[in-house]
Structure 1
Amino acid sequence: MNFGLRLKLSIMMVLQYAVWGAWAVPLASYMSGPLGFDGASVGWVYSTTAIAAIISPFFIGMVADRYFSTERCLGVFHLIGALFLYLASKTGSGEVTYLFSIMLLYSLCYMPTIALTNSLSFRNMSKPDQQFPGVRVFGTIGWILIGWVIGFKLFGLEEISAQPLLMASGLSVALGIFCFFLPHTPPMETASDVLGILTKPLGMLKDKAFAIFVVVSFLISIVLAFYYQHGEPFPPCHRGSQPAGASDHRPADGNDPAAIPALVHLPPRHPLDHHDRHGGLVYPLSDFSTGSVWPVALIGLPLHGVCFDFFFVTSQIYVDEESPDDIRASAQGFLALVTLGLGMFIGNLLAGSTVDSATVDGVINWTKVWLVPFGGAFLSVVLFLIFFREPVRKNNRKHDLCC
């Protein structure tokens, strides 16, 4: 892969996750503050990404795999998404239904692009298992940078306002335009019929290893929902009486740029299941280490970064290697449906009910709260270690657009 291609893919990843990170953390404070939303309303607005991840992947997979080039799909969806983000910034006090509707429409545009950026990257790499981590790390860098901008209150963001939504809208416009300059990635000439595109990702579940991988990914996504929903209100992630905010969560994200490139330097013959074990084993440790004081949280947060990288990035590589050439985008969409869709949706509901059940007289028993994701992570590791056996490939699949 030449430098020019690597640069384009890296910029794509920076902008892809900067757009999401610009609104994902500060939106909750904006809704519960100036907009006056209650907790349930905030939760439903955040659930729009999970709902979109459930609805959209197979449709966009059919479109990207069969009819349109991937880079054009990305450009159109990000430009339309920018409009919805701008409309979201115009939400008035108490307009829950309006914001929910707008964010759902936006999420239907954005969530498919996660799978499509992965698919585009894989199809333009000669050795995705070695090259993808070095490109994907720039997505984390984009998330971190925009988090610092908002967390440190730069560029006039001293007060809680709709500015993060406007910033995300502007970034989405920039990304939408940039996508049209990405490498041309046409639909597969051997694309399946529509029914095949819908059924083949499900057909992959006949493989025992792939089925176990899907189950474990689903469980880990439920665990991840606890971190995203309760990471900010968790007392150790506060400084004094103030919420941690975007910048105080950087111990977790700041560890990612070091962890993702480390994937490339693992032994070449190191089985993919070992890579995933690294992430899976650390997940229960990260939940268990999230104790009652800030220094202990400093242990748990960086561990979360390692978890996310080793498990989810290698999972994306694994799906790309296991899926037939004509349904790569659909297969990545299926992974997004299971993790960002079903897993995160159920995880968000479970996380909310867990906090309610662990609250007595207005005081949350955080030990009981974190024992739930700890148990889920531990179960996923046990299932993975016992049942997952990656088949030995005689020949690595050759990708159609190699550089």
Structure 2
Amino acid sequence: MAAIEGTIAGSARPAEGMLTGRLSALMFMQFFVWGAWNVTLGLVMQTVGIGSLIGNAFSVGPIASIVGSFLLGMAAARYLSPKMLMVILHLVGGAILFALPAMVTPERGATFVWVLLGYMILYMPTVGLANTIALKSFGDRVDRFPFVRAFGTLGWIAAGLIIGWAGLSASPQIFTIAAVVSVALGLYSFTLPNVEPDAPRDESVLRQVLCVEAFGLMRNRSFLIFITCATLISIPLAMYYAYASAYIGTAGIENVGGTMSIGQMSELAFMFSMPWLYRRFGVKPLLLVGMVAWAVRYALFAIGDGGDSIWAIYVGVALHGICYDFFFVAGAIYTGTIASPKGVNAQAQGMLTLFTYGVGMLLGSQIGAYLYAQLPANPSIADWQQMWWYPAIAAAVIAILFQLSFRDNSKADA
């Protein structure tokens, strides 16, 4: 009997390893597609003479998160499996990406922004779908998810390195690179685990489109608190992406790109440590540490300068791994834990994307633009320091409210 059990256990481990490898490849390509064009798009648009449209181009992501999440809620709640949605969305999205380089011109700049919006409406739901496929495939072993998600960060880094190595950082052909991988991912998605879609419910199409069942999860007080804090914390996230590079340059650091990559490396390192941390500490401590890290990061930016305090800038950038992984990765796991017993995992992941990458990032873009507009035309390091205190204080308040009001009752609810 012991020999039989040993044989079964021995065969299960390779199967689990293959599943982890398959899902790691999924995450790698998923974020490679996004990273291939997102990082240097502003440089491309400035180079071709449509720099005035950069703000509009970077607003399409949050808008698409909102619109695309409703699209996902409609499809995932009915008859299409998550993997078939991945096939369709990435193949169609790849075709659009192939067409985009010809539109990055002064004559067709406005058209480019609209078509980019259409593409992002297709792409953003796949972020939640990839999470859903991974989490459902792992079942109770959700602690393996951070390891798999780490390959998304690797994909983002690899995309940037390839774009730079090929000399395409300022070229519209960044979209061609993304298109090739998008089509490859669409085809690869045929081989993904065939996890079941959310069970169709006896309700109107309108209720499904509006993700009513997923929104119903917010009757759980703690989940409502989590969603609220996730939305609010996404505001400083948007400000970091939009303005950190300009601040670092003002501080006199010449290699801005290399400095920013410290944050990606940090994200990768903490991503690999997440399975152990999740098993050891649970959800709430990770979420809380993630929020506190945002407050600490912006406080460091508020004291960092190009002189004796330049260390604060480097430490603030390096905190990106804690800021992002401890909140957003742990948050995806928590959402799956709450949603799975109700059978609305895909809807819930889409809803989380809506509130974080959608509402939160959109608010962050607008609030950040307002704060930036208060600065002089050529802000000094002192001007930047003053601006960073606003998100630092806001993140600290959110962390305090979360600590006082959130209780992890996911196990009890399940």
* Same fold (TM > 0.5): yes
Any idea what the Cα deviations from partners look like across 1:211-267, whole Å, max 9, x if unmatched? 111111011100100011012222348876x6723x442100101222122221127
Contact 2:77–2:200 (Cα < 8 Å) also in 1: no
Which deviates more, 170-179 or 195-204?
195-204
TM-aligned CA distance change 1:63 to 1:310, over 3 Å: same
Correspondence 1:343 to 2:360: yes
TM-aligned CA distance change 1:298 to 1:375, over 3 Å: same
Match of 1:310 in 2: 326
Tell me which amino acid in the other structure corresponds to 1:30: V
Question: Which structure carries more helix by proportion?
Answer: 2
Match of 2:246 in 1: 233
> What is the CA–CA distance in structure 2 between the aligned matches of 1:125 and 1:237, rounded to whole Å?
45
Match of 1:36 in 2: 50
SS at match of 2:48: coil
Match of 2:95 in 1: 83
Any idea what the Cα deviations from partners look like across 1:108-142, whole Å, max 9, x if unmatched? 11000000001111111132431111111111111
Match of 1:299 in 2: 315
Match of 1:169 in 2: 179
Match of 1:353 in 2: 370
Q: How many angstroms does 1:196 deviate by? A: 4.9
TM-aligned CA distance change 1:123 to 1:392, over 3 Å: closer
Contact 2:259–2:317 (Cα < 8 Å) also in 1: no
TM-aligned CA distance change 1:123 to 1:192, over 3 Å: farther
Match of 1:20 in 2: 34
Correspondence 1:183 to 2:183: no
> What is the CA–CA distance in structure 2 between the aligned matches of 1:372 and 1:317, rounded to whole Å?
29
Correspondence 1:366 to 2:384: yes
Correspondence 1:69 to 2:93: no
Equivalent pairs, count: 389
Match of 2:4 in 1: none
Divergent runs of 4+, >6 A? none
Match of 1:388 in 2: 406
SS at match of 1:389: coil
Q: How many angstroms does 1:74 deviate by? A: 0.5
Contact 1:112–1:333 (Cα < 8 Å) also in 2: yes
Stretches of structure 1 that go unaligned for 5 or more consecutive residues are: 398-403
> What is the CA–CA distance in structure 1 between the aligned matches of 2:347 and 2:187, rounded to whole Å?
24
TM-aligned CA distance change 1:95 to 1:389, over 3 Å: same
Contact 1:69–1:186 (Cα < 8 Å) also in 2: yes
> What is the CA–CA distance in structure 1 between the aligned matches of 2:270 and 2:305, rounded to whole Å?
26
- TM-score (norm. length: structure 2): 0.88
Contact 2:251–2:305 (Cα < 8 Å) also in 1: no
- TM-score (norm. length: structure 1): 0.91
SS at match of 1:33: helix
Correspondence 1:256 to 2:267: yes
TM-aligned CA distance change 1:279 to 1:362, over 3 Å: closer
Match of 1:55 in 2: 67
Match of 1:286 in 2: 297
> What is the CA–CA distance in structure 2 between the aligned matches of 1:195 and 1:93, rounded to whole Å?
40
TM-aligned CA distance change 1:188 to 1:332, over 3 Å: closer
Stretches of structure 2 that go unaligned for 5 or more consecutive residues are: 1-14
Match of 1:214 in 2: 227
SS at match of 2:138: coil
> What is the CA–CA distance in structure 1 between the aligned matches of 2:275 and 2:344, rounded to whole Å?
25
Contact 1:14–1:138 (Cα < 8 Å) also in 2: yes
Which deviates more, 127-136 or 259-268?
259-268
Match of 1:223 in 2: 236
Pick aligned residue for 1:140 from 126, 143, 153:
153
Match of 2:116 in 1: 103
Any idea what the Cα deviations from partners look like across 1:251-290, whole Å, max 9, x if unmatched? 0010122212222112736331111111111111111112
